[in-house]
Amino acid sequence: MSLALPWPVAWQLIRGGFRRHSAYRAAALAGALTNTVFGAIKASITLGALASAGGRLAGYDAKSAMTYVWLTQALIAPVSLFVWNEVSDRVRSGDIAVDLSRPVNVQLSYLCADLGRAAFEFLPRGLPPLLVGWASTGVHIPARPLVWAAGAAGLVLGVLVSFACRFLMNVTAFWLMEIRGVQTLYLVASNIFCGLLIPVHWFPGWLRTVANATPFPSILQTPVDLISGRYSGAAAAHALLTQSLWLLAMLTAGQVALARGSRVLVVQGG
């Protein structure tokens, strides 16, 4: 098992991931439309809650709450809050042995392909909800270069953390074989704690503590907070550092699990 991934290979894998997904343009547009309709519903519910709370809730006013709603809808696809079982399927079929025999790092190879996927989905699946949101309720993104830079970095880190978590979950297939149940539970936990349905800031104190003890806020809540300019200066740096630490932790865990798992594979003679 190799730990290295040369840059030219990485670049090819990213391009490959991009091209592979660009074949499904109709599907991307259909997904964008669905995300937009859900955005409209979520916007209504959120505005209703704000109205009941007297116009402000946990630091959100109507403008920032709508920015949150439409940004989350735009970023669902790039940060991929869906079921993904490419690697677990290969573990189950034994094809993972082929991946492991290649002289490149397995985890980082899939990571590059996932980056390519996210890069493709960013515009066709992200832009429609943002445009509809901008035209209907307004979306406010501060025009400050530092906010944009932090937002971009946060988004890339969010995509990477999401991948690292999903990869780790897929690798459990070495021991569990059937991971559909794990998938569902992962989906439930990530959807609550990443701030997709309700901002993490609205959670009661204890639930917020639970959420922040997981990598999930780093996937969506933090990128959205950074892009919408909720954090600045030291707070933004702190948010990016938290994301980076979660990324490092999850990638390491995935790497260790893969190494152990491939030993299981050898023992079983797979």
Question: Comparing C-alpha atoms, which of 194, 186, 266 is closest to residue 1?
Answer: 266
From the list 87, 100, 225, the residue with the least C-alpha distance to 167 is 87
- Interface with another protein in residues 185-224 (CB under 8 A): 185, 188, 191-192, 197-198, 202-204, 207
Per-residue tokens: 41: 């519903």
CA 201/CA 49 separation, integer angstroms: 14
Return phi, psi of residue 256, to 5°: -65, -45
Q: Which of residues 115-134 bind another protein (CB under 8 A)?
A: none
Per-residue DSSP letter, 53: T
| Distance in Å, CB of 156 to another protein, minimum | 26
Interaction between residue 233 and another protein (CB under 8 A): no
Task: Tell me which stretch binds another protein (CB under 8 A): 26-34, 167-175, 215-223, 245-253.
Answer: 26-34
> What does 91-125 look like in DSSP terms, one character per residue?
HHHTTHHHHHHSSS-HHHHHHHHHHHHHHHHHHHH
Smallest separation (angstroms) from another protein to the CB of 154: 23
- Which of 3, 19, 41, 256 is close enough to bind another protein by CB under 8 A? 41
Q: Which of 114, 225, 96 is nearest to 165 (CA)?
A: 114
Q: How far is the CB of 35 from another protein (least distance, A)?
A: 9
Write out the residues near another protein by the rule CB under 8 A. Answer: 24, 26-27, 29-31, 33-34, 37-38, 40-41, 44-45, 47-49, 52-53, 57-58, 178, 180-185, 188, 191-192, 197-198, 202-204, 207
